[in-house]
Amino acid sequence: MPKTMIRNAAWAVVWDAAAGHHAYARGVDILLAEGCIASIAPHDPASPPPAVDEVIAGDRLLVIPGLVNVHTHPTTEPALRGVREDHGVPEQQMSGLFERAQSLRLDEAGRQAAQRLAYAELLAGGVTSVVDLSEPYAGWIDVMRESGLRVWAGPGFASARWGMTAPQTVTWTWTEGVGRAGFQRAQALMAEAEADPSGRLSGIVFPAQIDTVEEALFRDAIGLAEQSGRAFTTHIAQAVVEVREMIARHGKTPIQWAAEIGLLTPRSILGHAIFLDEHPSIGWHGQRDLALMAEHGVAVAHCPSPFARYGEHLKNFGHYARRGVRMAMGTDCAPHNLIEEMRLAIVLARNAARDLAAGETGMVFTAATVGGAAALGRPDLGRLAAGAAADLALVDLDHPLMSPARDPLRALVFHAADRAVRRVFVAGETVAQDGRPTRLDVSNAAGILAESQARMLRDAAGRDYMGRHGDAIAPLSLGFV
């Protein structure tokens, strides 16, 4: 492994172990060796550079820990560029989730191209660890390995599929044995990822949605996570339709039912968890959900973009955190830009609560680094500290959007985002430079994805409940002359 010195970094976001939070350091030397951060020390101009493979001049750099993205769907979401941004169903509180799930399905060539493009975008924005929640296809793990990222493979499995018979009617079609077969396949794929010689691939247990998996299978899934030491995740409280369906089935909210059957544990990452019993769009009679989440030590994968697009959001990021719920960040949909997602999380939280403290830069950056790492059970990630993994990003302070660098983290989150990220390391290896992956081949991916998207939109007519093709489901933003 290469040995690298970042010499005299102008700014670094380092981990203050005594205080238990990130802090700024200025003028430091950071030594990377054997895949780890060997040391972080004040720069001594009189001291000659050590014998290393590379010395990086840090006097115009901000060094940050690699970002940890705990919720993505990279094999599908890039195909919805130009489709989902304005798409919604008014009868379903503007969410278009169920309509897209029924009608728009990508072929395997498109899914691989989407995965490559999403991974490249993640790397360009400083992400070094990602949870990939996908319906697996042949070659899925190969792309993970090629990317150089740390990837948690989450092969999804479910017993029911969503459908629609009218704009106001969502259906659940249950097929006996499908969920169990998917669970068995998921176990084999997780084992394959964890045996990968790169040492960068892991598994995460992923029953797809709280409303599409039966109780016995959920119990077995969380049992597997506990027995194997893996993290566990599922989509929950992600749609008003879902919450109302779960209340109809069980007489309680999805969060309360999940607690009852043992799904809420310290290894559980709840995908979204926006529509709790206290959310105004639910209109429920109690406020127990948040306390249950805190009591059981769960983490929330907060992904503001998909909900903000149709007028909904987690009402108070800071409230969740102050109540003891562990917060982490994800991108869920394209764009897979975690820095921009942080900015959106801050702005939405402040607007919803009319309180600056509802979303602060340091708070949300913590969620996107050590918060995600803790949720995955990896205290060596998401921080710059001696002994931690050498996963980090170098940010160019000379980029115009980073100037003046009075508070470079705010400049990055609110202004420059991925545009100022110059180099990204995983285990001390450069995996992205100047916005491009160094290992991942994306040369043909855009063209393949465009062709697959065209097929997806054309073939939608055979699946859509009204027989519409994709251009009717999601019309262009402008007409033609």
What's the pLDDT at 357?
Answer: 87
For residue 1, pLDDT over 80 is answered with no
State the average pLDDT over residues 138-145.
Answer: 97
State the average pLDDT over residues 449-458.
Answer: 98
CA 11 to chain centre: 26
First to last CA, the chain: 58
What's the pLDDT at 249?
Answer: 98
Distance CA 409, CA 463 (A): 46
What's the pLDDT at 50?
Answer: 85
Residues of the chain with pLDDT > 70, as a percent, come to: 100
For residue 14, pLDDT over 80 is answered with yes
What's the pLDDT at 451?
Answer: 98
By CB atoms closer than 10 A (0-12, 13-18, 19+), residue 288 is: middle
pLDDT in tens, 289-328: 999 999 999 999 999 999 999 999 887 888 899 999 999 9
State the average pLDDT over residues 195-222.
Answer: 98
pLDDT in tens, 184-199: 999 999 999 999 999 9
Please provide the size of the chain in residues: 481
Q: Which domains does the chain have, with CATH numbers?
A: 4-65+386-437 (2.30.40.10), 67-375 (3.20.20.140)
DSSP state of 276: -
For residue 441, pLDDT over 90 is answered with yes
Q: How would residue 49 be classed by pLDDT, with cut points 50, 70 and 90? A: confident
pLDDT in tens, 418-432: 999 999 999 999 999
φ, ψ of residue 461 to 5 degrees: the values are -60, -30
By CB atoms closer than 10 A (0-12, 13-18, 19+), residue 203 is: buried
What's the pLDDT at 367?
Answer: 98
Q: With contact defined as beta carbons under 8 Å apart, do 30 and 9 qualify?
A: yes
Distance CA 191, CA 196 (A): 9
What average pLDDT is seen over the chain? Answer: 97
Structure tokens at 101: 């799930």
State the average pLDDT over residues 63-74.
Answer: 98
State the average pLDDT over residues 98-126.
Answer: 97
What's the pLDDT at 286?
Answer: 87
Distance CA 420, CA 400 (A): 9
Distance CA 230, CA 224 (A): 8
For residue 358, pLDDT over 90 is answered with no
- Least confident window among 151-155, 250-254, 263-267, 355-359: 355-359
What's the pLDDT at 315?
Answer: 78
Q: How would residue 413 be classed by pLDDT, with cut points 50, 70 and 90? A: very high
Distance CA 228, CA 202 (A): 12
Element (H, E) at 236: strand 231-236
State the average pLDDT over residues 175-181.
Answer: 97
For residue 364, pLDDT over 80 is answered with yes
What's the pLDDT at 430?
Answer: 98
Q: With contact defined as beta carbons under 8 Å apart, do 15 and 2 qualify?
A: no
What's the pLDDT at 48?
Answer: 85
